[in-house]
Amino acid sequence: MSILEIKNLSYKYGVGTPFEIAALENINFSVEKGEMVAIIGHTGSGKSTLIQHFNALLKASEGQVLLDGKDINESRESAHKARFRVGLCFQYPEYQLFESTVYKDIAFGPTNMGLDKTEIDRRVRKAAEFVGLKESMFEKSPFDLSGGEKRRVAIAGVMAMEPEVLIMDEPAAGLDPRGRKVILDLIKNYREKTGSTVIIVSHSMEDVASVADRILVMNKGKIAFNDTVDEVFSHEQELREMGLNIPQITKIFSELKRYGFNLNAATYTVDDAAEEILRYLHKGGN
């Protein structure tokens, strides 16, 4: 059974004001246990609005969100419980740190879950390890850290709740290429180690192409594509009309293929590209 199922979901902001806007229209899709799904779309396409429905922060004007087959908006309790089962890490999470020490900030979520001290301690240490924070940092003030470190503390704060579904809204936004890679790698590592379901939101194809099992493309509040990476990338023209670009290296490879080189066009990262070219050269183009 799907762990998360969205049925006929619609949402409007500012109902009854001149600023009323339909942010989501009739969304249907589901996420399987252990899957890694990427939600992609141009800025303003409704990605952040959509994921806030997954842990009942927003309540749909129409439609349902089913977690393990149960409607999360059934009652106040079920909505509150959903917050622990579906961990949501917002965009720029570093601006939401507040505790006096890094340790306490990571422990905020687990403490709200009502866990005992030893369990909280275990989870904080584990989460810190996932994001690569050293123990020597635990007693520092989160406000004294660098931007990248702050972000990792904030991500650890959500991971420490050990949610069944982890959702990250633009986790790599505003970072330099190396910082992006570090964050994406640690998410990949987290997923491999814990086997949990991960949903990653991004507006960059480059970031998610190599890590996601499936891509959900949002356009103006609707789902445009919901398919494997290869399948979605084959619609280059439509994607471009939605303001999205397929990775540059993929573009080069499909061009090369058109010129008669027998290369695999489903190549998304520079590393894979290097390997593919080597393979091609060794085989002498057969």
Ligand X SMILES: Nc1ncnc2c1ncn2[C@@H]1O[C@H](COP(=O)(O)OP(=O)(O)O)[C@@H](O)[C@H]1O
* 188 vs 198: CA distance, rounded Å: 9
* 161 vs 114: CA distance, rounded Å: 11
Nearest to 158 by CA among 259, 247, 250, 90: 90
Helix (H, G, I), strand (E, B) or coil at 52: helix
The two three-digit tokens of residue 20, written as one number: 């009323």
Candidates 37-45, 117-125, 147-155, 227-235 — which segment interacts with ligand X by CB under 6 A?
37-45
Shortest separation between residue 260's beta carbon and ligand X, angstroms: 39
Shortest separation between residue 26's beta carbon and ligand X, angstroms: 15
Nearest to 90 by CA among 143, 173, 168: 168
- What letter would DSSP give residue 186? H
Which residues sit opposite 197 in a β-bridge?
165
Candidates 108-116, 118-126, 193-201, 255-263 — which segment interacts with another protein by CB under 8 A?
108-116
Query: Binding of another protein at residue 93 (CB under 8 A)?
Result: yes
Candidates 49-57, 61-69, 145-153, 232-240 — which segment interacts with another protein by CB under 8 A?
49-57
Element (H, E) at 37: strand 36-41
Residue 261 binding: pick among Mg ion, ligand X, another protein, none (C-beta 5-8 Å cut-off by kind): none
Q: Which of 161, 172, 184, 263 binds another protein (CB under 8 A)?
A: 161
Q: Which 42-81 positions form the footprint of ligand X (CB under 6 A)? A: 43-49
Of residues 41 and 87, the one with the C-beta less far from ligand X: 41
Q: Are 24 and 221 within 8 A, CB to CB? A: yes
Q: Which of 15, 21, 274, 278 binds ligand X (CB under 6 A)?
A: 21
Q: Which 187-206 positions form the footprint of Mg ion (CB under 5 A)? A: none
Nearest to 170 by CA among 138, 148, 199: 199
Nearest to 218 by CA among 80, 46, 51: 46
Query: Binding of ligand X at residue 132 (CB under 6 A)?
Result: no
Query: Binding of Mg ion at residue 45 (CB under 5 A)?
Result: no
* 274 vs 277: CA distance, rounded Å: 5
Query: Binding of another protein at residue 90 (CB under 8 A)?
Result: yes
- Kindly list the residues in this chain that would bind another protein in the complex (CB under 8 A): 14, 16-18, 52, 55, 57, 80, 83-84, 87-90, 93, 95-98, 108-109, 112-113, 143, 157-158, 161
- Kindly list the residues in this chain that would bind ligand X in the complex (CB under 6 A): 13-14, 21, 23, 41, 43-49
